Amino acid sequence: MAKACVRIGGFVRRAGLKDVKAFVEGKNGAVNVHGEEQAALDDAAHEVCVKELIQGGRCAWIASEESEDIVTANVDGRIAVVFDPLDGSSNIECGVGVGTIFGLVDVGAESSPEHVYARPGRDMSTVGYVLYGASMVLVLSFMSEDAHGGVCAFTYDADRDAFVLTKRDIRIPESGNVYSVNQANYKKWDDATRAYIDECASSKSLRYIGSMVADVHRTLLYGGTFHYPACSSNAQGKLRAVYECFPMAAIIERAGGLAISGANDSVLSFVPSTAHSRMPFHCGSARDIERLDEILSSEV
Ligand code: AHM
Ligand code: MG
């Protein structure tokens, strides 16, 4: 995934150039319609990840935001890899940070496509994301018998063509002064969600990029909360459980924060019914998410 992300970072850096579609497709040609370029970048990012995972030989199954069906990678593989190859790509034209989100599940020797998604998020071992921002940053956490699940950050050094360890054992602050949510959905939330956001609005700063990797990365480093709640037009929220919410929730929790989907509902306990199931999502500093949980659990 790291190798794939270096290539995706190259696509992102070239976004907007007239030949970018040709560049990602390896053909001659030009493109001038933003939507077309965005779709080409999404597809190219997906293809690069699939190619690297097939070549790696250890991956059995792939679930991607860009593929309706689970992709078979290697029949002898024992892990499944889930990813959103280019999250936030609708923002790409204005140059804000976008990212790749990924997670690994050990599915054993005999598995079927359902083993990839019909399990709680807590089953993910390695989780990570790459933020294509001012610098290219890989945030990674391994969890296994030998690895305790700490969260580290690596910054890509183009001169060495390598991700270099720049932060180890990242811990999210216990509370923060920032909340991050699409406030335009305010009228569509339930009363309890509105009550919590009202409380935030009276004492904290609102920061919302609209690109989950960038918003959660800021939350991880500076503290505070990130939310994509359920709303009247989408009872399950917007974000996808398997390849968006689970890896991000696992990183935040391994860094000492919390991720919930509702009152007393841990994100990582949810069992999706499809690879593309959505879920309400709140994550961030432990004290702040505990306060949200308290409000969601009470009658408002
Ligand atoms: P995408 O997978 O189509 O890019 O959508 C996911 C993105 C997230 O990065 C971000 O948190 C969210 O959509 C923003 O949605 P909205 O524009 O409704 O606030
Ligand atoms: Mg996405």
Q: Which atom of ligand 1 is nearest to the CA of 87?
A: 4
Give me the tens of pLDDT residue by residue for the chain, a chain 300 residues long: 999 999 999 999 988 776 665 555 554 444 434 566 778 899 999 999 999 999 999 999 999 999 999 999 999 999 999 999 999 988 888 889 999 999 999 999 888 999 999 999 999 999 999 999 999 999 999 987 777 789 999 999 999 999 999 999 999 999 999 999 999 999 999 999 999 999 999 999 999 999 999 999 999 999 999 999 999 999 999 999 999 999 999 999 999 999 999 999 999 999 999 999 999 999 999 999 999 999 999 966
Ligand 1 centroid–CA 201 distance in Å is 21
Which residues, 6+ apart, have CB-to-CB distance to 121 below 8 Å? 103, 241, 242, 245, 246, 249, 250, 267, 268, 269, 270
Instruction: Give helix then strand counts, H and E, for the chain.
Output: 8, 14
Ligand 1 in reach of 212 Cβ (< 6 A) = yes
**Ligand 1 centroid vs 35 CA: distance in angstroms?**
15
Query: What residues form DSSP beta bridges with 131?
Result: 99, 137
Ligand 1 neighbour 211 (Cβ under 6 A)? yes
Q: Whose CA is nearest to atom 5 of ligand 1?
A: 88
**How far away, in angstroms, is 242 Cα from ligand 1 center?**
15
Give strand ranges (E) for 142-231.
152-157, 162-167, 178-180, 205-206, 225-228
Contacts of 104 (CB under 8 A, 6+ apart): 79, 80, 81, 82, 124, 125, 126, 127
Q: What is the pTM of this model?
A: 0.94
Looking up tokens 């007239």 gives 18
**Ligand 1 pocket, residue 52 CB under 6 Å:** no
Angle, CA of 54, 43 and 233, to the nearest 5°: 120
Protein residue whose Cα sits closest to atom 2 of ligand 1: 87
